Chains A and B, each alone.
Chain A
Amino acid sequence: MSQGELMEEGKRQMRVCNACRYCEGFCAVWRAIEWRRDYRDADLAYFANLCHDCKECVFACPFAPPHEFGINPPRLFAALRQASYRKYVWPGPFARVFQGGWGFMWAVIGACILFSVISLVTQGRVFGAEGGLFYTVLSEAVLEAVFGALALWLVCGWGLGAWRFWRDIRTLDSSAVQVRDILQAVRYALSLRHLGGTKDEPLSRWRKWFHHGVFYGFLLDFASTCLAAYESHILHKQAPYPVASPVVLLGIIGGVGLLVGCAGLLYVKLGVNRDTVDEGAYQSGRAFLWSMLLVAASGLLLLLLRKTSVMGPVLVIHLSFVAALFFTAPYSKFGHFIYRCLALVRYAEEERMHRLSGH
């Protein structure tokens, strides 16, 4: 389906839903639909990023396929989310290559080669580094340069995407966002209030918990990395840190959260009814979960093997996974939280305005 056809199909389905409104109690999307009578392309992108794919509506819908109306909101919104990640991302032209699993694998291979070459050139070896001294494989300066560039790339990609999306989903008569809208959106986001499941898909009720595992696991690992940077730069304490140190403990807990969360979400995905998903979105979601899983698993493996002679290759592989994760981040499912959070801010603002006007 072309972009234009997808938008037309979206508007058709929204018209049916807005004449029906039976789903209005399920999630935020429905009220946002009811607040409008006509739909712009950007409104569809907004709804799509409010939808948390719980599937309640499609199983409740008497007009779902095989009915001739063919109403299938989770599938529609998944396709629209994919389209919105492509449309708003910067730089856009590579989106198709890096959105799926293959893009990630190419990035991993590229990073592997790069790190191995750098290691050979600067240190003269990949294997045989001793005693868990990571910097004997890749120097601190190299790591800082590579990951600094990646961080910049990621922030620009996400930042510009966010800005474009935000500009698009607002209208001339949108009211100014207030602090309480943002606080409300943060509350929605942190509690994953809208990430329910449905009894019609037994496993889906677990999604929320696995997602918490991934999200908080990632935050803990991120915190561990920041702490490590602080210790090495400010306190001049060099890695490896002892297992009982905060850096390693945070890393372990976060890594386990990521492992369990990603594996769980992948398992839940196996059980979904494929009629209710968009194939492209499904594959890209799976690819992202695998990439997170590989980062976490290789990280924990590195911890286990850091005192052995294979530390070097394991480190290179782990860093390659991390670098590929960041490199593909503007295109992969990784960036979904940005669009979701912005959609939630917009929703909080709209909700407040409609409460004021009594609708």
Chain B
Amino acid sequence: MTASVACDVLVVGGGNAAMAAALSACDHCASVIVIERAPKFYRGGNSRHTRDFRIMHEKPTEHMLATYSPDEFLDDLRRVAGGEMDEGLARLVVERSEALPAWLSQQGVRWQEPLAGTLHLARTNMFMLGGGRAMMNAYYRTAEKKRIAIWYDAMLEDIDIAGNVFGSAQVRKNGEVVRIRACAVVFAAGGYEANISWLRQHWGDAADNFIIRGTAYNQGNTIDLLLSAGAEPVGHPQAFHAVAVDGRAPKFDGGIVTRLDSVPFGIVVNQRGERFYDEGEDFWPKRYAIWGGLIARQPGQVAYSIIDSKVVDKFMPSVFPPIVASSVADLAIRLGLDASRVQQTVDTYNAAVQPGTFRPGDLDDCRTVGVEPCKSHWAQRIDTPPFYAYPLRAGITFTYRGVRIGPDARVQLAGGGAMENAFAAGEMVAGNVLRRGYLAGFGLTMGAVVGRIAGEGAARVAR
């Protein structure tokens, strides 16, 4: 016989969105159980790898400079959204973001003064002291104090939904099956970026070569269960956010440190030793996120960033040391590439570099002429040994596919109408606002805002 327990509000997932929902449900007088699929150390999914929230503010604050108006915030979202955005929900998130810092501080989250590494975002974004895992620790500490039940190693396996009413959930907890009956439920179990076999459906064998930057536990079975139960989908199944990461990164959970910023300072070649995209198209933070997709489309899903000693200390230090050689041909051999092909690519590129003044902080006038693809900025000859290379792979941050929600965070049904007592938040509903593109810090902000709405809504249903 399976054991069975009951509570007012069940929260599925253990990241930022889930804990925001759990704490706000608790503050609205509900008894809450949180089920987190991961073991305790890995609690908090991708949220444990994060660093900052994007926050609207009409006045300078203790931790943020100048102002960031709702309209500017919305404009920034529209710019990255590529024409597909739920304006209503976006505006709601932007407006409610202003109250987040105070609420999060109450939950024990601490903030960092704008420092060297964070200064360029100090007007729009707020940085958690110690980053995402420190934030998750604060969330969990507060949840424990408020006597919220937290189950680790507890995975949602099945849901019992009749019509538009959620009844109970089947959970595998440390290998045992438990049924949880709840008056309301909040789903906040992240995306499906760690589910390689799903990625395979759209990317074929290439998916085996992807690196998953975050948790291995976001397998997306919750999204699947909801869609099967009649929820309305949002977002394209093959869409993901991916950046260039060091090819030596671990398959999962390499987090922020595997990112590489060397691309604009040299050239990038694929396995055939050929360049394939303008490395100097725009500032790196703006182009950072297209390189994951570019590399995912190269043979073997790998590429190599090649630079020389003139620029080796011009970008954020890398987690793994670069591969070094005294000549381009030697470097190619170390990388397992065709030396004469790579030499030819570098020679052609070098010959195309025009004179200019190298200014890494600006869109400078160092560019190439007569080489395809061109390099529009920061093009300098690669000629000063030793030469350095980093292998690159596509590092997937998150997926966009999820379920549609209303402004009250209720799960919407494909056949029209909404679930009565089922809410969703976080990465699994991110596609409601952005179906492509990304704005730094928006994931956490939307997760916490919608999570709070969902938690409060669930508590109200439960009473």
Whether B115 pairs with A19 at a CB distance below 8 angstroms is: no
Q: Are A24 and B115 in contact (CB under 8 A)?
A: yes
Highest count of chain A CB atoms <10 Å: which of B49, B115, B132, B255: B255
B220-269: which have CB < 8 Å to A?
250, 253, 255-259
Cross-chain contact A19 with B257 (CB below 8 angstroms): yes
Contacts of B51 in A (CB 8 A): 22
Instruction: Kindly name the residue among A15, A57, A60 whose own CB sees the greatest number of chain B CB atoms within 10 A.
Output: A60
Give, as a whole number of angstroms, the nearest-CB distance from B144 to chain A: 12
Decide if B257 touches A20 in the complex (CB within 8 Å): yes
| Complex Cα–Cα for A95 and B42 (A) | 41
B313 within 8 A of A: yes
| B48 near A19: Cβ-Cβ < 8 Å | no
Q: Contact between B255 and A199 (Cβ–Cβ < 8 Å)?
A: no
Across-interface contacts of B115 in A (CB, < 8 A): 24-25, 31
Q: Does B359 contact A (CB under 8 A)?
A: no
When distances are taken between beta carbons in the complex, the residues of chain B under 8 Å from A18 are: 317
Counting chain B residues whose Cβ lies within 8 A of the other chain, the interface size class is 20 to 34
The reply to whether B116 and A59 form a contact with Cβ atoms under 8 Å apart is no
Q: Are A62 and B318 in contact (CB under 8 A)?
A: no
Q: Is B343 an interface residue (CB 8 A)?
A: no
Q: Which chain B residue has the least Cβ–Cβ distance from A37?
A: B317
* 9-residue interface stretch from A63-71, A78-86, A243-251, A308-316: A63-71
Q: Are B116 and A359 in contact (CB under 8 A)?
A: yes
> 8 Å CB contacts to A: which residues of B158-203?
none
Q: Which of chain A's residues has its CB closest to B312's CB?
A: A37
- What's the nearest-Cβ distance from chain B to residue A58, in Å? 10
The 8 Å CB contact of B129, one of A20, A26, A63, is A26
Flag if B137 contacts A60 (CB, 8 Å). yes
Do the beta carbons of B134 and A34 come within 8 Å of each other? no
- Hey, what's the 0/1 contact readout for A23-37 against B, CB within 8 Å counting as 1? 111100001001001
Complex Cα gap A26–B127 (Å): 13
A16 touches B129 (CB 8 A): no
Q: In the complex the two chains form, is A34's CB within 8 Å of B116's CB? A: yes
Contacting pair A22 B256 (CB below 8 A): yes
Whether A60 pairs with B130 at a CB distance below 8 angstroms is yes
The answer on a CB contact under 8 Å between B113 and A25 is yes
Q: Which residues of B contact A59 (CB under 8 A)?
A: 133-134, 137
Would you list which residues of chain A between 64 and 102 have a CB under 8 Å from chain B? 64, 66-69
A residues contacting the other copy or chain, number (CB 8 A) = 29
Residue B415 CB within 8 A of the other chain: no
CA distance A200 to B135 in the complex (A): 12
A56 touches B116 (CB 8 A): no
Q: Is the CB of B41 within 8 A of A34?
A: no
Most buried by B among A21, A25, A57, A200: A25
Q: Which residues of B contact A23 (CB under 8 A)?
A: 130-131
**A62 pairs with B132, CB closer than 8 A:** yes
> Across the two chains, which residue of chain A brings its CB closest to B112?
A25
- Docked Cα-Cα span, A64 to B134, in Å, equals 12
Is B319 on the interface with A (CB-CB < 8 A)?
yes
CA A240 to CA B133, docked complex, whole Å = 59
Please pick, from B116, B138, B250, B318, the residue contacting A19 in the complex, using a CB distance under 8 A: B318
Distance (whole angstroms) from the CB of B214 to the closest CB of chain A = 9
How close is B285's CB to chain A, nearest CB, in angstroms? 16
Give Cα A23–Cα B118 distance, bound, in whole angstroms: 12
Which residues on A sit within 8 Å (CB–CB) of B250? 68-69
Q: In the assembly, what is the distance between CA of A67 and CA of B259, in Å?
A: 18
A61 interface residue per 8 A CB criterion: yes
Taking A19-B257, A20-B257, A66-B41 as contacts, is the C-beta distance between A60 and B319 under 8 angstroms? no
Nearest residue, chain A, Cβ from B132? A62
Closest chain-B Cβ to A299's Cβ sits at a distance in Å of 41
Q: A59-B134, A62-B133 are in contact. Are A24 and B257 (CB under 8 A)?
A: no
Contact B117 A21 (CB under 8 A): yes
Complex Cα spacing A38 to B51, Å? 25
CA distance A199 to B259 in the complex (A): 30
In angstroms, how far is the closest chain A Cβ from the Cβ of B389? 17
Q: Which residues of A contact B133 (CB under 8 A)?
A: 59-62
Which residues of the partner chain B approach A61 to less than 8 Å between Cβ atoms?
Answer: 133
The smallest C-beta distance from B204 to any residue of chain A, in angstroms, reads 28
Are B117 and A24 in touch, CB under 8 angstroms?
yes
Closest to A21 in B: B117
Q: Which of B48, B129, B321 has the most CB of A within 10 A?
A: B129
Which residue of B130, B258, B321 contacts A57 across the interface (Cβ within 8 Å)? Answer: B130
Residue on A nearest B115 in the bound complex, by CB = A24
Partner of B49, one of A24, A62, A199, A200: A62
Also in contact, A25 and B317, with CB within 8 A (given A60-B137, A63-B257): no
A15 pairs with B317, CB closer than 8 A: yes
Q: A25-B112, A57-B130, A62-B48 are known contacts. Are A19 and B317 too (CB-CB below 8 A)?
A: yes
Across the interface, B116 reaches (CB within 8 A) one of A24, A26, A57, A60, namely A24
Check if A22 sits within 8 Å of B141, measured CB to CB: no
B316 on interface, CB distance cutoff 8 Å:
yes
What distance in Å separates the Cβ of B252 from its nearest Cβ neighbour in chain A?
10
> Considering the chains assembled together, what is the distance between the CA atoms of A35 and B117 in angstroms?
11
Interface contact A60-B134, CB-CB below 8 Å: yes
Complex: chain B residue closest to A20, CB-CB: B257
* Distance in Å: Cβ of A173 to nearest Cβ of chain B: 15
Q: Are B117 and A34 in contact (CB under 8 A)?
A: yes
* Nearest opposing residue in chain A for B108, CB measure: A199
Nearest B-chain residue to A26, judged by Cβ: B130
Q: How far is the CB of B107 from chain A (nearest CB, A)?
A: 12
Does A20 contact B256, Cβ atoms closer than 8 Å?
yes
Chain B nearest CB from A77 CB (Å) reads 17
Measured CB to CB, the nearest residue on chain B to A354 is: B116
The answer for the CA separation of A60 and B256 in the assembled complex, in Å, is 14
CB distance from B194 to the nearest CB of A (A): 15
Contact B131 A22 (CB under 8 A): yes
Within 8 A of B (CB), among A1-51: 15-16, 18-26, 31, 34, 37
Contact residues in B for A62 (Cβ distance below 8 Å): 48-49, 131-133, 253, 255
Per-position contact with A for B24-66: 1 when CB-CB < 8 Å, else 0?
A: 0000000000000000010000001101000000000000000
Shortest CB-to-CB span from A55 to chain B, Å, is 11
CA distance A60 to B321 in the complex (A): 24
**Which residues of B sit under 8 angstroms from A19, Cβ to Cβ?**
256-259, 316-319
A69 proximity list for chain B (CB < 8 A): 250, 257
Among A16, A23, A24, A34, find the residue whose CB has the most chain B CB atoms closer than 10 A. A24
Whether the Cβ atoms of B130 and A25 lie closer than 8 Å is yes
Q: From residue A126, how far is it (CB to closest CB) to chain B in Å?
A: 57
Bound: A16/B255 CA distance, A: 11
Extra 5 A-B pairs, beta carbons < 8 Å, given A19-B317, A31-B115, A67-B253:
A20-B255, A24-B117, A56-B134, A59-B133, A69-B250
A/B interface sample: 24 pairs, CB < 8 A: A15-B319, A15-B320, A16-B257, A16-B319, A19-B256, A19-B258, A19-B317, A21-B117, A22-B132, A24-B116, A25-B113, A26-B129, A59-B133, A60-B130, A60-B131, A60-B137, A62-B48, A62-B131, A62-B133, A63-B255, A68-B250, A69-B250, A199-B138, A200-B137
Closest 6 CB pairs of A and B: A22-B131, A60-B130, A25-B112, A60-B134, A19-B319, A19-B257
Residues of B within 8 A of A (CB): 41, 48-49, 51, 108, 112-113, 115-117, 127, 129-134, 137-138, 141, 250, 253, 255-259, 313, 316-321
